[in-house]
């Protein structure tokens, strides 16, 4: 396994160790600040109804995360969550201030990926569907594709490899050792490039042992 990225690190990013990348979820406040939160609600109220001043000290702003995250983390994958309020201009202005960080823009939202295709950031197309049709406007800009393990078959992976020759394939979110073993047993070496998991250290150790056994 080439990459193991840590899933949803907004609550524990200070203690992250030995990972090639991290995934964070971003939504927007009422005044358009990107903030790290997975769910659309905070204290039973949409995050889009909060002013930034109301959540300071309670939720982490993206700008603060990018400032504080350790420099040894190679890739920071920002998943832009689908929402009624998405301000891509504000997001771009935030991340461009951190030009020294390696940022990947990820989303299920094709409009978001199309917007960022005009810049140099690597893109990850997220999907829970099989036999996807990526729009031509962003097709050549996609560096990674993130798949739910639920749609995984050898036939599908081979089809993706033929359709998107230079795209690397990630699976999300894999936390069970039984699933890790199934990946090793079911798929030839390097058909899958990366895994996103809540257990990055254990996952990386597991696949390193598998690689050693192959040798």
DSSP letters, 92-130, are HHHHHTTTTS-EEEEES-HHHHHHHTTSS--EEEEES-S
CB 125 within 8 A of CB 144: yes
Query: Residue 118: which domain range?
Result: 3-214
List CB contacts of 39: < 8 A, sequence separation 6 or more: none
Does residue 115 register a pLDDT over 50? yes
- At residue 168, the 3 state secondary structure works out as strand
Quote the percentage of the chain above a pLDDT of 70: 91
Does residue 214 register a pLDDT over 60? no
105 — phi, psi (to 5°)?
-95, 125
Query: What was the pLDDT predicted at 188?
Result: 77
Does residue 87 register a pLDDT over 70? yes
Query: What was the pLDDT predicted at 31?
Result: 96
| Position with higher pLDDT, 168 vs 71 | 168
| Position with higher pLDDT, 162 vs 215 | 162
- Structurally, how many domains does the chain consist of? 1
Quote the percentage of the chain above a pLDDT of 90: 55
* Cα angle 115-2-193, degrees, rounded to a multiple of 5: 55
| Position with higher pLDDT, 190 vs 54 | 54
Query: What was the pLDDT predicted at 2?
Result: 86
| Position with higher pLDDT, 124 vs 190 | 124
CATH number of the domain at 162, please.
3.20.20.190
Mean pLDDT of the chain: 87
């Amino acid at each position: 396994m080439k990459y193991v990225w840590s899933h949803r690190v907004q609550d524990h990013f200070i203690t992250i160790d030995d990972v090639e990348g991290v995934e964070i979820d971003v939504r927007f406040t009422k005044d358009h600040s990107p903030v790290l939160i997975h769910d659309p609600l905070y204290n039973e109220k949409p995050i889009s109804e909060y002013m930034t001043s109301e959540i300071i000290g309670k939720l982490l702003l993206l700008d603060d995360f990018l400032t504080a995250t350790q420099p040894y983390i190679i890739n920071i994958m920002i998943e832009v969550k689908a929402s009624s309020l998405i301000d891509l201009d504000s997001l771009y202005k935030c991340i461009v201030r951190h030009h020294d960080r390696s940022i990947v823009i990820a989303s299920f939202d094709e409009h978001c990926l199309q917007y960022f295709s005009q810049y140099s950031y690597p893109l990850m197309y997220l999907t829970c569907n099989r036999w996807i049709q990526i729009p031509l406007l962003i097709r050549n800009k996609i560096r990674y594709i993130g798949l739910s393990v639920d749609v995984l078959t050898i036939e599908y992976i081979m089809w993706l490899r033929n359709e998107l020759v230079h795209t690397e394939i990630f699976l999300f979110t894999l936390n069970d050792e039984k699933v890790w073993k199934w990946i090793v047993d079911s798929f030839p070496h390097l058909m899958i490039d990366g895994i996103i998991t809540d257990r990055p250290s254990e996952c990386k150790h597991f696949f390193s042992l598998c690689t050693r056994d192959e040798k």
